[in-house]
Amino acid sequence: MTTAEISIDAGSLLDIEAVMAVMDDSFDAAFGEAWTAPQCAGLMPMAGVWLTLARRGDEAVGFSLSRVVLREAELLLLAVRRDAQRSGTGRALLDAFIHSAAARGAEHLHLEVRDGNAAVKLYSAAGFSEVGRRPAYYRGSDGQVFDALTLAKSIHN
Ligand SMILES: CC(C)(COP(=O)(O)OP(=O)(O)OC[C@H]1O[C@@H](n2cnc3c(N)ncnc32)[C@H](O)[C@@H]1OP(=O)(O)O)[C@@H](O)C(=O)NCCC(=O)NCCS
């Protein structure tokens, strides 16, 4: 799958350094949404978890981390390096998540996103809608807390 010169492919635990480089560049520490390397590396080998990378040439510029359990799939993380944003890579990774989740048998998709994150617009445009709110779910670098929205979308295989 290709968007302009971006390719979207499966990743693995071997890509953890590239994932963390994108993570550190893309997420603003003020909001407390990023994961640590041990959190990512601990989850990746688990059943039902898959990593998708967006590459420009050999270089990773974005990734998504997802999990499927029976008919439910969750988008755990989605990030694109700042210098590669606003050119369709986030949407391409989200589309890949939706297609891959369907291929793995999922019928319901969900994700958590900080209330106020620009990504909400991306998710809404892809058909996700708000089904819940978790108060004070994220804690930013200065101790400020932010609600998480739970967004969901049904798909039909
Ligand atoms: C959210 C994120 C992955 C989007 O990646 P991206 O490659 O820029 O996304 P796209 O170029 O596909 O954008 C698709 C649409 O989303 C919306 N959007 C994305 N970023 C936006 C921003 N900063 N402000 C307003 N709208 C935005 C727009 O509607 C955009 O379409 P447009 O560019 O035609 O206006 C990226 O901004 C990111 O990594 N953010 C930090 C990490 C994060 O918060 N991830 C989401 C929670 S896990």
93 lines ligand 1 (CB under 6 A): no
Strands 49-56 and 59-69, bridge-based pairing:
antiparallel
Q: What CATH number does domain 2-154 carry, 3.40.50.720, 3.30.420.40, 3.30.70.120, 3.40.630.30?
A: 3.40.630.30
Tokens found for residue 144: 């400020």
pLDDT band at 51 (very low <50, low <70, confident <90, very high): very high
Distance 46 CA to ligand 1 centre (A): 28
pLDDT of 86 higher than 60: yes
CA of 88 to the centre of ligand 1 (A): 8
pLDDT tens-digit map of 97-125 = 999 999 999 999 999 999 999 999 999 99
Q: Could you tell me if the CB of 52 is within 6 A of ligand 1? A: no
Residue 53 corresponds to which tokens in the numbers above?
């990378």
Instruction: Enter the tokens of residue 23.
Output: 């993570």
Decide: helix, strand or coil at residue 137: strand
Q: Which long-range contacts (CB under 8 A, 24 or more apart) does 45-50 make?
A: 45/13, 48/104, 49/76, 50/10, 50/100
Per-residue model confidence (pLDDT) at position 157:
64
* Closest approach atom of ligand 1 to CA 86: 11
Which tens digit of pLDDT belongs to each residue from 18-36?
999 999 999 998 899 999 9
How much is the pTM? 0.95
Summary mean pLDDT of the chain: 95
Going by pLDDT thresholds of 50, 70 and 90, the confidence category of residue 128 is very high
- The response to whether residue 86 sits with its C-beta less than 6 Å from ligand 1 reads yes
pLDDT greater than 80 at residue 3: no
Give the list of residues 6+ apart from residue 49 with CB closer than 8 angstroms, or none: 43, 65, 66, 67, 76
